[in-house]
Amino acid sequence: MALVKILLIFSLLLTSSAHALSLKTLDFSSVDYEAFEKRYGPTPWILLGGFSAATLAYLTRKDRAYRKRESFEDTRPLGNYGFIGDIIGYGFLNGVYTIAMGWRGWGYDDLEAKRSAELMARVSAYTLATTMVLKTAISEKRPGYPDDDQSFPSGHAAASFAFASVVTIRHGWGWGSLAHGLAGFIAISRVNDDFHYMHDIIAGATIGAAYAWGVHQNLMNGSPYWFSVTPVPKGAGLVAGLEF
Amino acid sequence: MLPGTALASMPFHPMGLLDHGEVELKISEAWVQQEREYENESLVLDERDYQSLHSRLEIGLGLWDRFTFRGGLKVATNGELRKRFDSSIPLNDDFTTYEGIRSISASLQYYSQEKQLAFEVYAESGLPRARETNASLGGTNAGMAFKYLHELSWVTIFGHIFVQVDGKKRTWRLDGEREVLDPYTKFGNELNFRFDFNHFWVRIGGHFMLTTDFVTRSPSLNRHSDKGFGPGGIFELGLQYPKWAIRIWHERSGEVFNVIPEEPNLQYEFELEEQSSGLELSWHW
């Protein structure tokens, strides 16, 4: 139940802007949707949908699913190729992109490349901090390896969807589609190989994508504030910062 | 089995969006076959084959600016159910026909100014007292979907990321026992490519989803699984004019679940396979 509460609190906290808007008025025809979309971008919808989906997946899961063995071969969509997602999902994509764009940006004084490197570095750092803290605070056992309690949320899914979202933001949906396909493969590989439940990868993907679009939107609006989760005695805290 | 109303194709706008005051009426007829198999090492232990004609009526309304509502009614006719069991199962082979109201459905979606992104919530519900002879869905399915659309000069790419909870279903079997299907969640993505040639279009699409556990319970038979996945695809041809459209389609989908056996060396699995072929007429004003 603790996980359910955390998911619900996160969902409410992080989508508070969307809730506040709908509570202000019941007359939908008078809401300025254009201003809302311009101010917040897709982040509230990613958070609302992502955490709702993760909560539903968690609620309809049976706790008896722990087992010290992997799934049967016919029920693994990626068969024995899940290890590919395991290897490339450790944040290598984020690192290689940041280094390559940084090299181009500072080496050839390319402002757009510098911005790409900066956005990927920031988003990856916030995503990593949040997922590591949540893994430690929640300590959920992995489905196929119950001796390991780092299941929720999926760091692979978080890092890969942060990467895919930044690629989409900086290079458009053409490259973004390929990056999202790769991120989807990495996330599925984690369920395929019994390292994660479905709600782990949905929550991870939501965290990564939300940070990418949220940080980008804040930079566009000239309000580069950020927040992250931090461990505190007997729990976790929310830290916010504002650059000025 | 397929994720809700969100999967339906929309002739006048690929995401099914309607402006304020617009109305759309759709009537469709589809031949639907579903197969449920419980297997051990490819040996079928129990099998249920459903096939019926699904008639569907749907109306769409552009309520306010950027909000579209859809309501639908599905009726099953000419239904046939065949059940076969291995000798190790304490149930007998059986056959019955069925027909009746399958479900009612409703959906509401909010879309962006450019009509390239939309958020939809939907629900589909059947009669509460479902029997194998009355075709009812037996419970409620509900979900939400993020829809996206990208138009190039030669192709329209659209789809949606969906999450759907197949709610608890209670069905009275022919042998008098009540079978319960526990709720489980589907999460996945559907991607479509639509090629337009003047008034004609061709659509090729597919989806992939992950699921949580599929569990069925009854006094004489329990089945437990802990996760699953499902691929699917659709091929569609259509003809569209400003006020009306017609389309035909064939789609197939499946779900495979990892069963939790008491004996871990046995490779048990649950398989659901579905295919449908249909014809739909749409009017728009």
For B71-98, the pLDDT digits (tens) are 999 999 999 999 999 888 888 899 999 9
User: B246 versus A65: which is more confidently predicted?
Assistant: B246
B156/A122 Cα distance (integer angstroms)? 34
End-to-end CA distance of chain A: 40
Nearest by CB: A34 against B113, B161, B189 = B113
Window from A36-40, A204-208, B63-67, B274-278 with minimum mean pLDDT: A36-40
Window from A70-79, A235-244, B167-176 with minimum mean pLDDT: A235-244
pLDDT at B117 over 70: yes
Q: Is B267 in contact with A28 (Cβ distance < 8 A)?
A: no
Nearest by CB: A60 against B183, B257, B260 = B183
Q: Is A45 in contact with B257 (Cβ distance < 8 A)?
A: no
User: A43 versus B263: which is more confidently predicted?
Assistant: A43
What is the pLDDT confidence band of residue B223, given thresholds at 50, 70 and 90?
confident
Q: Which residue has the tokens 């479900």?
A: B103
Window from A20-29, B83-92, B105-114, B258-267 with minimum mean pLDDT: A20-29
Q: Per the structure block, which two tokens stand in for A129?
A: 């901090």
pLDDT at B21 over 50: yes
Q: Are B58 and B72 in contact (CB under 8 A)?
A: yes
B284/B13 Cα distance (integer angstroms)? 11
> Which residues in B lie closer than 8 A to residue A75 (C-beta atoms)?
227-229, 256-258, 269
pLDDT at A164 over 90: yes
Window from A178-187, B9-18, B35-44, B214-223 with minimum mean pLDDT: B9-18
Backbone angles phi, psi at A74, to 5 degrees: -70, -15
What is chain A's percent helix, strand, coil content, to nearest 5?
70, 5, 25
Work out the average pLDDT over B38-63: 90
Q: Per the structure block, which two tokens stand in for A152?
A: 């929720």
User: Can you give the pLDDT at residue B63?
Assistant: 87
B280/B118 Cα distance (integer angstroms)? 23
| B interface residues, A as partner, C-beta within 8 Å | 64-67, 112-113, 117, 119, 144, 146, 150, 161, 163, 165, 182-185, 187, 189, 208, 210-213, 215, 224, 226-229, 231, 256-260, 264, 267-269
User: Can you give the pLDDT at residue A67?
Assistant: 64
Q: Are B285 and B52 in contact (CB under 8 A)?
A: no
ipTM of the complex: 0.82
B142/B146 Cα distance (integer angstroms)? 14
Among candidate residues A79, A29, A22, A72, the one with its CA nearest the CA of residue A48: A22
Q: How many residues does chain B have?
A: 285
Backbone angles phi, psi at A151, to 5 degrees: -80, -45
Q: Per the structure block, which two tokens stand in for A119?
A: 């956005």
Q: Please enumerate in sequence order all residues whose Cβ is within 8 A of that of A87, keeping only pairs 6 or more positions apart, or say none.
A: none
A179/A168 Cα distance (integer angstroms)? 8
Q: Are B29 and B52 in contact (CB under 8 A)?
A: no
Q: Is B144 in contact with A74 (Cβ distance < 8 A)?
A: no
Amino acid at A117: A
> Which residues in B lie closer than 8 A to residue A67 (C-beta atoms)?
226, 260, 264
Among candidate residues B63, B2, B26, the one with its CA nearest the CA of residue B240: B26
Nearest by CB: A53 against B163, B215, B226 = B163
Among candidate residues B134, B127, B118, the one with its CA nearest the CA of residue B70: B118
pLDDT at A18 over 50: no
User: Can you give the pLDDT at residue A58?
Assistant: 87
Q: Roughly what angle, to the nearest 10 degrees, separates helices A2-14 and A43-59?
A: 170
Work out the average pLDDT over A115-135: 92
pLDDT at A11 over 60: no
User: Can you give the pLDDT at residue B100?
Assistant: 92
Q: Per the structure block, which two tokens stand in for B63?
A: 């309520």
pLDDT at A235 over 70: no
What is the pLDDT confidence band of residue A98, given thresholds at 50, 70 and 90?
very high
Measured from the Cβ of residue A67, the count of other Cβ atoms closer than 10 Å reads 16
End-to-end CA distance of chain B: 31
Per residue in B150-185, pLDDT (tens digit) is 888 889 888 888 899 999 999 998 888 899 999 999
Residues B76-113: b if buried by 16+ CB within 10 A, e if exposed: beebebebbbeeeeebeeeeeebebebbebebebbbbe
B40/B94 Cα distance (integer angstroms)? 21
User: Can you give the pLDDT at residue A234?
Assistant: 63
Question: Is the preceding omega at residue A153 within 30 degrees of 0, hence cis?
Answer: yes
Measured from the Cβ of residue B207, the count of other Cβ atoms closer than 10 Å reads 23
Taking the CA of residue A45 and the nearest CA in chain B, the distance in Å comes to 8
Work out the average pLDDT over B207-223: 89
Work out the average pLDDT over B201-214: 92
User: Can you give the pLDDT at residue A25?
Assistant: 44
Q: Is B185 in contact with A42 (Cβ distance < 8 A)?
A: no
Work out the average pLDDT over B39-61: 91
Share of chain A above pLDDT 90, in %: 37
Q: Per the structure block, which two tokens stand in for A50?
A: 């992502």
Taking the CA of residue A57 and the nearest CA in chain B, the distance in Å comes to 5
Would you give the distance in Å from CA B57 to the centre of its chain?
A: 15
Q: Are B241 and B274 in contact (CB under 8 A)?
A: no
Taking the CA of residue A35 and the nearest CA in chain B, the distance in Å comes to 11
Nearest by CB: B212 against A29, A61, A71 = A61
Taking the CA of residue A56 and the nearest CA in chain B, the distance in Å comes to 7
User: Can you give the pLDDT at residue A19?
Assistant: 37
Taking the CA of residue A30 and the nearest CA in chain B, the distance in Å comes to 9
Amino acid at B73: L
User: Can you give the pLDDT at residue A7?
Assistant: 56
Residue-averaged pLDDT of chain B: 88
Helix (H) / strand (E) containing A61: none
User: Can you give the pLDDT at residue B98?
Assistant: 93
A71/A144 Cα distance (integer angstroms)? 8
What is the pLDDT confidence band of residue B266, given thresholds at 50, 70 and 90?
confident
Q: Per the structure block, which two tokens stand in for B69?
A: 């509502």
pLDDT at B6 over 60: no
User: Can you give the pLDDT at residue B96?
Assistant: 93
Nearest by CB: B256 against A57, A75, A197 = A75
Backbone angles phi, psi at B49, to 5 degrees: -110, 120
Q: Per the structure block, which two tokens stand in for B135?
A: 């075709």
